[in-house]
Amino acid sequence: MREPDQRDSGATDGTGSESTNPLNSVLPTGDSSATSEPGTGATPSGRRSAGGAGAGAAVSGAISGAVAGVMSAIRTHPKAWIAAGATVAFVLLGAGSVALGATVGSAPAGAAVAAPPTHSATRTPTPTPTPTADPARPVPAAQPAASRIRTCSVASLAQDGRLGNLEAQVVNAKTGQVLFDRNGGTPGPTASVLKTLTSAAALATLGPDYRVQTTVVAGSVPGQVVIVGGGDVTLSRLPGGQGAFYTNAPSIQDLATQTKQALGGAPVTSIVVDTSLFGGPLWQPSWDEHEERVVEGSTPYMSALMVDGDRNDPGAVESPRSTDPVGRAVQYFQQYLGTNVPVTSGTAPAGARQLAAVQSQPVTTLIDQAMTYSDNTIMEELARLVAIKTGAGNTFAAENAGVLAGLKAYGIDTTGIHIADGSGLSADNAVPPSYLTQLFVKVLNRQNGLGVVYDGLPVAGRTGTLGPGYSRFTGASSIADGSVHAKTGWINNGYTLSGIIDAADGSQLTFAVYALGPVSDNAKQAIDTLTTGFYKCGDNLTNG
């Protein structure tokens, strides 16, 4: 079974400072014997041994003898010694000034400092040299701030064999930092997750308020009417659209009623059907027609005119589709007109008078319903309308250029993206997980009207294809119920999930997970388990 998903049956920092080094705090600045009492041991001199004191006495005697000799020489040659003494005094006076200045500059706070002597001559101070770095010694460059070390790993979960060839990425939505990556830049088939891109392109190209119109105009001969398909797949055959799967759908009954009123009672002689808005083929060649159109009933032939998405059961999410959606729609138009006149294919005359018109719900409503229930039909309609509006063309082949043009509005690099359809049903679609994680940041922030995409996302354990009955986020993974808003996807060669996680630590993450290759249905549970791991880790998630 392919998209839409079918409901199931059952390190410590040191605090030391250089100022605490005892060598810096206790070294004396002068002879402490002048201020310490003998024998107290308060200074190094006070801690000298008795032997040291005796040696000091001997030195004192020698000094006394030398002084006596000098005094005798002065008495013998008084003039010569007077001149020498004056010279020595001058030198000592200058040296004393320098020493006194140094003493004053280094005196502790609160200590008494003697006033410096006054000199009659002013000395020019020697300028202090500017310190320069030693060219031989390298100066370390400023170090970058240390990055956070994250410790929460989901590596074992990512190695689950049920995930096949894993492509995944997780981003912190606030910082944009990639927390986890496994081949995240590799384009791969997205399955129905592609609906997110189609929605974004439609919002940017068509606008949120755009409504798709179906009209009836006057034909080229009297009594002829032309019903013109505008591509609205939600047009319903049910009276007033009541009971239809599509919310508040327009009614083909209303279209017929308006037509009769506009004709004023004149009979309808023939009906022309104009479905030229959409070009062929009606079926995308890479889709499995039997499985999708007949067995699963997920997708119709894409014609510009149909009712109820061409479902056999107009009120069902999925129901087999016919081989002639146009014929089914015309059948009900005739029924409500009350006529069985001939019907032919053609185009409306240029400038023809409009007789009747009905409109779909706005694009925002269409997106909301299609995202919640993974409706292929609405998304194929929107992709085709985007291609037409951008001038790319009106066929499946034009949708790649059309959708990519629409996505330019979001400023995200689209390199590697290929759009084969609007629903994601084709395995030929290719989008890297890294594109989705960036786009979902904008969805979360409701930029450019993308809030409607967020509002339509299924919620784990609560709504849509992640809700009750789909066997998603059950057992141990139920801890993430209500916290994962994501689009599901499934095609024959892969299962996908992408969206937003309100993580346990309060952070918000965007993520995309593709389980590709020969995977089976249990890949869904492996994806849920891995996503629950992202939820538990939050911003502490490591890529290891």
**pLDDT tens for residues 419-448?**
999 999 999 999 999 999 999 999 999 999
At 6 the pLDDT is: 53
Token code pair at residue 144 = 């970058």
pLDDT in the model for residue 11 = 38
> CA-CA distance, 319 to 310, in Å (whole number)?
9
Please state the rounded mean pLDDT for residues 233-258. Answer: 97
Task: Tell me: pLDDT of 71 over 80.
Answer: no
Strand partners, 509: 172, 501
Report the range out of 104-118, 145-159, 247-261 with the highest average pLDDT.
Answer: 247-261
With a cut of 70, say whether residue 328 has pLDDT above it: yes
- pLDDT score at 77: 45
CA distance 158 to 150: 17
Whether the pLDDT of residue 20 is over 60: the answer is no
Structural contact between residues 425 and 2, judged by C-beta atoms closer than 8 angstroms:
yes
Question: Which pLDDT score, from 0 to 100, does residue 384 have?
Answer: 98
Radius of gyration of the CA atoms of the chain, in A: 45
pLDDT band at 474 (very low <50, low <70, confident <90, very high): very high
- Is 195 tagged catalytic? yes
pLDDT at 349: 97
Confidence of residue 406 (pLDDT cuts 50, 70, 90): very high
d(CA 499, CA 454): 9
**pLDDT, tens only, 289-299:** 999 999 999 99
Query: 228: which strand partners?
Result: 215, 274
Catalytic-role residue among 195, 260, 442, 524: 195
- One-letter amino acid identity for 228? V
Model confidence at 470, pLDDT cuts 50, 70, 90, reads very high
| pLDDT tens digits along 350-362 | 999 999 999 999 9
CB 275 within 8 A of CB 304: yes
pLDDT of residue 115: 40
Residue of 188 and 88 predicted with greater confidence:
188
Choice among 236, 360, 374, 434 that is catalytic? 374
Question: Is there a contact between 232 and 381 (Cβ–Cβ < 8 Å)?
Answer: yes
Residue 94: predicted pLDDT: 39
Instruction: Give the model confidence (pLDDT) of 43-65 as tens digits.
Output: 333 333 333 333 333 334 433 44
CA distance 456 to 485: 9
Alpha carbon distance 442, 424 (integer Å): 21
| Residue 81 burial class via C-beta count within 10 angstroms: exposed 0-12, middle 13-18, buried 19 and up | middle
Distance CA 494, CA 492 (A): 6
What residues does 510 pair with on adjacent strands? 171, 500
Q: 192, 251, 423, 477: which one is catalytic?
A: 192
Q: Is 468 left (phi over 0), alpha (psi -120 to 50) or beta?
A: beta
pLDDT of residue 514: 98
- Token pair 């290719």 is found at 430
Whether 166 has a pLDDT exceeding 70, the answer reads yes
Q: What is the mean pLDDT of residues 504-522?
A: 97
Cα 355 vs. chain centroid, distance in angstroms? 49
Phi then psi dihedrals of residue 282, to 5 deg = -80, -20
| Residues comprising the chain, all counted | 544
CA distances from 433 to 4, 420, 448, 498 (A): 20, 17, 21, 8
Q: In the predicted model, is pLDDT for residue 538 greater than 50?
A: yes
List the one residue out of 326, 333, 328, 383 whose CA is nearest residue 358: 333
Mean pLDDT value of segment 200-205: 98
Mean pLDDT is lowest, of 59-68, 156-165, 243-252, 463-472, for 59-68
pLDDT score at 3: 52
Q: What is the pLDDT of residue 118?
A: 41
pLDDT score, position 2: 60
Say if residue 522's pLDDT is above 70: yes
Question: Does residue 498 carry a pLDDT above 90?
Answer: yes
pLDDT value, residue 148: 79
Mean pLDDT, rounded, for 340-346: 97
- Per-residue confidence band for 7, with pLDDT thresholds at 50, 70 and 90: low
**Catalytic annotation on 192?**
yes
Give the neighbor-by-neighbor strand order of the sheet with 224-228. Answer: 343-345, 270-274, 224-228, 213-218, 354-359
Instruction: Please give the model's pTM, rounded to 2 decimal places.
Output: 0.75
Confidence of residue 13 (pLDDT cuts 50, 70, 90): very low
Q: Which of 188, 199, 185 is nearest to 403 (CA)?
A: 199
Question: What share of the chain has pLDDT > 90, as a percent?
Answer: 72
Q: What is the pLDDT of residues 73-111, one digit of tens each?
A: 444 444 443 334 433 333 333 333 333 233 333 333 333
